[in-house]
Structure 1
Amino acid sequence: MKKDDIDTLFEQNRTDFDVHDTPQGHQKRFLAKLNAKTEAEKNVSKEKQTEKGNWWKPISIAATIAVLIAIGFLFQNNEAKASDLASVSPEMEKTQSFFTSAINKELQTLKSFDTPETKELVADALTQIEVLEKEYETLKGDLAESGNDKRVIYAMITNFQNRIDLLENVIKTIEEIKTLKANRNENTI
């Protein structure tokens, strides 16, 4: 059947279909129910969107915490690497220990010669040692950045050697000065 035939059929039988009158206010009640249902569907839709949209907040917080922990771990590792030669290998730890004890021994010897006659010489030597120690601190940072590059390790060992050589030379000079002074005193007597 065509659409026109259906429309004609309804028009001809309209009185057969209109058995009851529509109660008053039916249209208002129907629209109210329809609006209530539409609002309920919107609320459910918003709740689903909220539930779906809320998953990103905990995940983003967790991701942020994970990134901060990773950054902290990397900085902690860099600080450990930047500590000194001891972080490179057990052999380098022994080397560093040897140089450190030798430098401390020489420093004690130098400080024992701190007299009014040698005061300037000792102060100058200590200033030069401070400069070398600052260079060593820079080398520690370079060691961490370079990933234990052998050239940096060699520079660190050379720095230790330079400090020892400096201290030995100053101590030798002070001893020569004392010997010369003692000889002069013997010759004058």
Structure 2
Amino acid sequence: MSNKDQIDRLFEELEGQLDLHDTPQGHQARFMSRLNQQQGKPAKNKRNWWKPLSIAAGFLVLISLGISVLEPEDNSAELASVSPEMEQAESFFVTTINEELATLKGFETEETKAIIDDALTRLDLLEQNYDQLKVDLKESGNDKRVINAMIANFQDRIELLQEVIQTIEQIETLKANRNETTI
């Protein structure tokens, strides 16, 4: 069905309901004069809402930049900030801990899940202690006691991981020996 047919059908349905009166005389002239008067003036109904919105957005950007500049910096110092030797030591400890963690996760089974979860919880506590030691290091001005405590913390984490790995290996060895004797 074409558009013309639809329009014709619409007019047929609305026949007798449409207002067929002529417009009053001079209507077009009054309309044109009002239109010409308002051409130079902005319409009262239209508001320029985008101007205040853009100003507010600009202020928002300035405030967020100000907050990011005034935000306090991290009050902690890494062990690597003390000396190049400490940087190497920290790198060694972090690498060793990551390797031990990977080994530990390789042993994860249903039987060992509880042991591993407990070890990871204890490891988190040691990491929280280390974060406090970093703050203490900055506040103390690289005090040797704090540096020694940081190194001891790394060593404690490595020992914890190694002990848990050893325990899991012993459990697996015992299970393997029981299975051999029952066969």
- Normalising by the residue count of structure 2, what TM-score does the alignment of the two structures yield? 0.60
1:139 aligned to 106, 130, 133, which one? 133
2:92 aligned to 77, 95, 98, which one? 98
1:172 correspondence with 2:161: no
Instruction: Show the counterpart of 2:116.
Output: 122
Aligned-partner Cα distance in 1 for 2:113–2:82 = 38
Deviations 1:43-102 (A, max 9, x none): xxxxxxxxxxxxxxxxxxxxxxxxxxxxx7xx65x74xx231001000000000000000
Deviations 1:18-38 (A, max 9, x none): xxxxxxxxxxxxxxxxxxxxx
Aligned-partner Cα distance in 1 for 2:177–2:135 = 49
CA RMSD of aligned residues (A): 2.1
AA aligned opposite 1:140: K
> Unaligned regions of 5+ residues in structure 2, if any?
1-69
Aligned-partner Cα distance in 1 for 2:104–2:121 = 13
Which structure has the bigger radius of gyration? 1
Structure (1 or 2) with the greater helix fraction: 1
Alignment of 1:23-172 (within 5 A): 79=75, 82-172=76-166
The number of aligned residues is 116
- Normalising by the residue count of structure 1, what TM-score does the alignment of the two structures yield? 0.58
Deviations 1:128-181 (A, max 9, x none): 000000000000000000000000000000000000000000000000000000
Aligned-partner Cα distance in 1 for 2:117–2:127 = 15
Aligned-partner Cα distance in 1 for 2:160–2:148 = 18
